[in-house]
Chains A and B, each alone.
Chain A
Amino acid sequence: MSFASDIKRFVRKVEQRNRAVYVGVATAVHGSVVRGSYVTGALGQPVDTGFLQGSWKLNIGKEEATIATNVAYARVIEDNSRAAYDARGVLPKKKDGDAPRRKSIKSTVGGHHSVKTTIAGATLLQDAVLRDLGQ
């Protein structure tokens, strides 16, 4: 045992803890965007076929993690712009005699704005991960 080896052990321990926090936060952010989170209040992705939900990929690099989807309509779901007349309302008739038309997402799980809600609650997620890791 030497002071130098003590320092090395301490450095390794700190690095391991940093890595655990980094991976934990990245995983929690991905979970919040995809499945929702009580910590951030995000609803997660709506599910019809599961294509959009399954498309959100988490890539944890050495120093940077990315969470991304290549599904073209993901932005429309995120911003709730598909039903711009009000998803809960009735669309105006195109011509007299038309029945009222509705545009709403069929899914009973998930919702909109999960990315921005997750970003807004990122500090809460960090705190939750730190608590879970006992730090």
Chain B
Amino acid sequence: MITHDLIRRGCRLHLATLEVCTTGTTTLAATATGYTRSAGSFLTDGFAIGMQLTPTGFTESLPARILAVDALTITTDLPRAVDAPGGGRSLTVGLPDVAWENVRYTPTPGRVWMREEYLPGGGSNLTLGAFATLTQLPLYVLHVVCPQFQDATACARYADALLRHFAPTTPLSVSGHTVTVRSDVVPSPSPLQSSGDGWVEVTVSIPLRVTTSNSR
């Protein structure tokens, strides 16, 4: 049978591997106020104000929010332990905090976060008989929420990353089900719109197709 709980979990597992942007493994340094590099560009890599980055290979591994960014420098909201330039390091922006459906969540002012909704959608039998193949057309909806009156680049890049991550025909791993992102109706974002109380958001809708056998 169609098990929506499993499908939602499959969506969440796939969402957890979201990568918005990264430096890749390279030579980076940490300063008291952020990070520097002598080659390459943080801008070209896709970093933007408001993103939550995770450092790897540094003394300090706690995530921090980007307050300012240019080609060679990132300024963060939290102080960093100073590290001289060294190889084998990376900065990555992945999944921000998520307000999971029906779980109380208090957003941190100034920080990008997401809100999740799962809509079961309609369904039908694909084949005949008692053990027919069933299909269901759920929607996984993710709201990318960003501070109002701030450069909206981060919001757009999180939304774009979701569209890449849930590209049409992407399979999701769900036990006993075949779940794919639909390609006849494709994932799409809403315009940037105010949600009040100092936040704006882009709503990304991801249409899914689920097939499974009727187990009765």
Enumerate chain A interface residues (CB-CB to B < 8 A): 37-41, 75-76, 79-86, 88-92, 103, 112-113, 116-117, 119-124, 127
Contact = CB atoms under 8 A, between A and B. Distances in A.
Contacts of B194: 81
Contacts of A122: 185
Contact of A113 (B139, B145, B182, B185): B139
A81 B121 contact: no
Interface in B178-213: 182, 184-185, 190-191, 193-197, 199, 201, 203, 205, 207
Nearest to B188: A116
Interface in B93-129: 99, 102-107, 115, 117, 119-124
Contact of A89 (B105, B117, B123): B105
B117 A80 contact: yes
A85 B107 contact: yes
B15 interface: no
Contact of B139 (A91, A117, A123): A117
Nearest to A119: B185
A125 to B, nearest CB: 8
A75 B193 contact: yes
Given A84-B145, A127-B124, 12 more contacts: A39-B122, A79-B193, A81-B203, A84-B195, A85-B99, A85-B107, A113-B139, A113-B205, A120-B182, A121-B121, A124-B123, A124-B137
A120 B121 contact: yes
Contacts, number: 98
B141 interface: yes
A81 B193 CA distance: 8
B143 interface: yes
Given A41-B122, A92-B107, A79 B99 contact: no
A81 B102 contact: no
Nearest to A80: B117
Given A116-B139, A121-B122, A76 B104 contact: no
Nearest to A124: B122
Nearest to A79: B203
B171 to A, nearest CB: 18
Contacts of B195: 81-84
A120 B122 CA distance: 9
